[in-house]
């Protein structure tokens, strides 16, 4: 579950987000749409606890993020939130397998090599465990990043523009993969995108206003 109330946020003097109430129930899927600069990525950062809102409440999987210390928020993110950002941030000093393993370690979870192997297999990149991320194609790297995002069985998956640079066929495939992973865990899924090809796939939608539509402080 993801829930925000009277959320306001901005950068510098600019107001970017002003959301009175928005909620996605456990296991449901929501698309966050809106033109470039409307605050889609900013909202995902707030949901992930990577930024703190100017005002308002953000609850993820029942947890109010403001009630957590920075260290506890990092731990919570590692265990409960699967993040798939536009740049994958895979560590090239580690193998693909160890990138996925590291996600468990950073979240303070016990080693589980079988689980790491399974998510890579499920996503069709099980053969690539020993290679360095820099040798992967874009699509392979994205699958590895998705494996890392879901290895801890997060309650919530947040994906930022997962399909914007893809052709139609890859777009459908990637969207289906993310949805399948969300279904497998019963996770709540929030996808931020201006890719109109994804709009029909989501029953719920939050549409953010164009930049400049809000007030300047």
Ligand X SMILES: Nc1ncnc2c1ncn2[C@@H]1O[C@H](COP(=O)(O)OP(=O)(O)OP(=O)(O)O)[C@@H](O)[C@H]1O
Residues that bind ligand X (CB under 6 A): 11-12, 16, 34, 36-42, 194, 211
Using DSSP, state whether 125 is helix, strand or coil.
Answer: coil
CB of 34 vs ligand X, minimal distance in Å? 6
Residue 188 to residue 24: CA distance in whole angstroms: 7
Could you tell me how far CA 120 lies from the centroid of its own chain?
18
For residue 50, what is the DSSP state? S
Q: Which does 211 bind (CB under 5 to 8 A by kind): Mg ion, ligand X, none?
A: ligand X
- Classify residue 135 by burial, with Cβ atoms within 10 Å: 0-12, 13-18, 19+: exposed
**CB contact burial 31-55 (16+ within 10 A = b; e otherwise):** bbbbeeebbbbbbbbbbbbbeebee
Nearer to Mg ion, 72 or 207 (CB): 207
Termini Cα distance of the chain? 32
Nearer to Mg ion, 9 or 79 (CB): 9
CB of 160 vs ligand X, minimal distance in Å? 7
Question: Which residues are registered as beta bridge partners of 31?
Answer: 191, 205
Q: Which does 16 bind (CB under 5 to 8 A by kind): Mg ion, ligand X, none?
A: ligand X
Using CB under 5 A as the criterion, which residues of the chain lie in contact with Mg ion when the complex forms? 40-41
Nearer to ligand X, 19 or 147 (CB): 19
Q: Which does 39 bind (CB under 5 to 8 A by kind): Mg ion, ligand X, none?
A: ligand X
CB of 194 vs Mg ion, minimal distance in Å? 8
Q: Which does 162 bind (CB under 5 to 8 A by kind): Mg ion, ligand X, none?
A: none
DSSP result, 55-117: EEEEEETTEEGGGS-HHHHHHHHHHHEEEE-SS----TTS-HHHHHHHHHHHTTPPP-HHHHH
Nearer to Mg ion, 41 or 95 (CB): 41
CB of 40 vs Mg ion, minimal distance in Å? 5
Nearer to ligand X, 8 or 132 (CB): 8
CB of 161 vs ligand X, minimal distance in Å? 6
């Amino acid at each position: 579950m993801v829930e925000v109330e009277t959320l306001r946020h901005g950068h510098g003097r600019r107001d970017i987000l002003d959301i009175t109430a928005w909620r996605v129930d456990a296991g449901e899927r929501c698309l966050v749409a809106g033109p470039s600069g409307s605050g889609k990525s900013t909202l995902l950062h707030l949901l992930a606890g990577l930024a703190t809102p100017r005002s308002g409440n953000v609850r993820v999987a029942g947890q109010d993020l403001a009630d957590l210390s920075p260290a506890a928020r990092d731990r919570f993110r590692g265990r409960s939130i699967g993040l798939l950002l536009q740049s994958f941030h895979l560590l090239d000093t580690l193998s693909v397998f160890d990138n996925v393993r590291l996600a468990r370690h950073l979240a303070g979870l016990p080693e589980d090599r079988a689980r790491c192997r399974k998510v890579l297999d499920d996503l069709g990149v099980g053969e690539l465990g020993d290679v360095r991320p820099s040798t992967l194609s874009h699509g392979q790297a994205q699958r590895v990043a998705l494996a890392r995002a879901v290895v801890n069985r997060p309650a919530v998956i947040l994906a930022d523009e997962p399909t914007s640079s893809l052709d139609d066929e890859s777009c459908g495939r990637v969207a289906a993969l993310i949805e399948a992973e969300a279904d497998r865990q019963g996770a709540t899924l929030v996808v931020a995108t201006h890719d109109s090809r994804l709009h029909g796939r989501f029953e719920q939608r939050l549409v953010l206003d164009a930049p400049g539509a809000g007030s300047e402080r």
